[in-house]
Structure 1
Amino acid sequence: MEMETEKSQQLAVSQLRKSVEKLGGSTEKYEDPTMMRFLIARSMDTDKAAKMFVQWQKWRTTFVPLGFIPDSEVPDELEAKKIYLQGLFKKGFPVMIVKASKHFPSKDQLQFKKFVVHLLDKTIASSFNGTEVGNEKLVAILDLKDITYKNVDARGLITGFQFLQAYYPERLAKLYIVHMPGFFVRVWNMVSYFLEKATLEKVVIVTNEEQRREFIRDIGEEALPEQYGGQAKLVPMQDVVLTPLAQTMELPQQLIFE
C-alpha cells in the first residue's frame, strides 16, 4: 500500500510540474516535498495546485524581491518584542510564540504584512538542518493573557491566516491558543469565518487543565517556556541568530539573519 501511495504521489508531482510550466512558472529549484505541500493544500488537484504555486511564485518575486524581509524593514513591529522563537518541539518543528498583550493594531499595514512574512520565514528557516527539505512545519502559540480591547486586532489575525493559507501551504502543524478571555470568543468566531477547514482543524484552544497538560506533553518541556509549564526561557525572535546556509530552495539563507 505504501509503494502504491508513493507512486501516486510521484505521478501527481510530475503532473503538477507540467501544469506549472504550462502556466509560465518554474519548478526547477524545488524538490518533491515542496510540490507536495501545494498538492495537499488543494486536495491533490494538480490544476488548482499549479495555479496556487504560480501565484505564490509571483507573490514572492514582487512582495519579497530580496528573497527575505530584513529587520530594517519592520523596525516598529520588532521593537514591540511580541514574537518569541523557541527551540524545536518533539516532532522537530520550531515553536513560535505570539504575546498578544504586546501587540497593537498597526498604523502601517504594509510593514505589518512584511512582518508576517519576516516571522514566518525566520521561524521555518530555524528548523533547517543544512538545507531546506521543503516539508518543514511550525507550531504556533497565541497567548492572549492580559489582553485588553486595545490589543484586539481581528484584521491582523485574518491577514496572518490568509498569508499562511495562500503563501505558506501546509507549513502550520498546529496553533495553540492559550488564556483566551471570554470577550475574545466573538472575535475568534469572526476570524474563524476566514479560515479554511484544514486550518481550523489545526487550531487547539486550551481551556481546561486536561488540555493544558496535553499541550505541555505535545510540545515538550524542553522547548516550552517556564510560563507555560516547560523548562525553557523565552527568546525574542530578533535575538535568534541563524547560521547562514550555503544552499536552500525557497529562501536565500546566505543573505538572511547574518
Structure 2
Amino acid sequence: MENATTNKEDVKCSTTSCINGRNELEQRKLGLMRACVEKQDPTSKEVDDLMLRRFLRARDLDIEKASSFFLKYLKWRREFLPNGSILESQISHDLAHKKLFLQGMDRNRRPIMVVFGGKHFPNKGKGGLDEFKRFVVYTLEKICLRMPSGQEKFIVIADLQGWGYSNCDIRGYLGALSILQDCYPERLGKLLLVHVPYIFMTAWKIIYPFIDNHTRKKIAFVDNKTLTSTLLQDIDESQLPEIYGGKQRLVPIENS
C-alpha cells in the first residue's frame, strides 16, 4: 500500500512539474514573440499578453510563425475595421434574417451563440460576400466583448434544421472559417452541430479540408435523440435556450 501511495504521489508531482515546465516555456516564448512583433509593428505594444498567447498557441508555440500570423492580423484589422467596429447599417441583409442569437453562459462561463443555418441565404445583392464577412466580424467582436474576466472562448450551437440547397453558401462558410481561424484564433471553445440533415454532409465534405486541426477538435455532431442531454453536459438548464429544453429565451445578436 505504501508503494502504491508513493507511486501516485510521484505521478502527481511529475504531472505538476510537466505543466509548470510547459507554462514556463510558453511564458518565455511569449516574451520573445512580443519583442519580435513590437520591433516590426510598434502598435503591438497596445496588445495584451492574452491575445499574443492565443496566436502563439495557434501556431504550436512556434515564435516565427506566430509572429508572422499576428502581424498579418494587425494589417487585416486596420484595413477591415478602420473605425474599430462594424455598423449595423453595414450588415442589414444578414441581420434581417434573424439567424444568429447570443445569450447565456455555459458551465465554463463561455458565452453561448446560437446560429440557424436554415435562415441563412447567400447575399446576391449589393453587399454580397463582403457584407456577410462584415456580419461575421460584427458577431465575433460582440461575443468577445461579452466574455467575463478570465475567459477567452465561446461556444456555438449551430442548428441546421430545415437547411437546404437555398441556404448553401460555400464561399460564405469558407470566408467565415478563414476569419475565425486567422483573426480570432483560440476563441472557439466548442461548436455543436444539431439537427443536421443528411443533405448538409455534401457541403461539409467541401468545407472540412479547410478546417485546421485545432478547430476540428472542437467540433461535434449531436444526435437528435440525445440533443437535450448532450447540451446539458455543457450548459445548465437555466442558460440553455427554451427550444432545446432549457429556460433561456433567444435574443437576436443586435439586441444582446
Give the TM-score, by structure 1 length: 0.86
**What is the distance in 2 between the residues matched to 1:122 and 1:139?**
13
2:86 partner amino acid: I
Distance 2:81 2:224 in 1: 41
1:238 matched to 2:254: yes
Deviation at 1:208, TM superposition (A): 4.6
Q: Distance in 2 between matches of 1:222 and 1:27?
A: 40
2:143 aligns with 123
* 2:130 aligned to which of 110, 125, 139: 110
**Structure 2 letter corresponding to 1:121:** E
Map of 2:200 onto structure 1: 184
Which of 48, 71, 89 is 1:72 aligned to?
Answer: 89
Q: CA RMSD in A?
A: 1.6
Q: Does 1:85 align with 2:102?
A: yes
Structure 1 distance, partners of 2:239, 2:61, is: 33
Q: Give the AA of the match of 2:143.
A: T
1:111 and 1:88 mapped to 2: Cα distance?
Answer: 28
Q: 2:37 aligns with which of 20, 24, 45?
A: 20
Residue 212 of structure 1: CA displacement? 4.7
Aligned to 1:154: 170
Given that residues 69 and 117 in structure 1 are in contact (C-alpha distance below 8 angstroms), is that contact kept between their aligned partners in structure 2? yes
CA contact (8 A) 1:23 1:51 kept: no
What are the superposed Cα offsets for residues 93-145 of structure 1, whole Å, 9 maximum, x if unpaired? 1111111121101121111111110011101111245xxx6x61111111101
1:163 aligns with 2:170: no
2-side partners of 1:199 and 1:237: how far apart?
23
Tell me if structure 2 keeps the 8 A contact 1:84–1:237: yes
- Counterpart secondary structure, 1:84: strand
The one of 26, 42, 57 equivalent to 1:9 is: 26
Instruction: Compare CA radii of gyration and give the structure with the larger one.
Output: 2
Q: Which residue of 2 aligns with 1:39?
A: 56
Q: 1:3 to 1:200 in 2, by over 3 A?
A: closer
* Paired residues of 2:117 and 2:167 also in contact (CA < 8 A): yes
Superposition TM-score, scaled by structure 2 size: 0.87
Structure ranking higher in helix proportion:
2
Greater length-normalized contact order (CA 8 Å, ≥ 6 residues apart) = 1
Unaligned ranges ≥5, structure 1: 241-258
Question: Within the alignment, does 1:193 sit opposite 2:209 as a pair?
Answer: yes
TM-fit CA distance, 1:7: 2.0
SS of residue in 1 equivalent to 2:210: coil
Q: Match of 1:239, as an amino acid? A: N
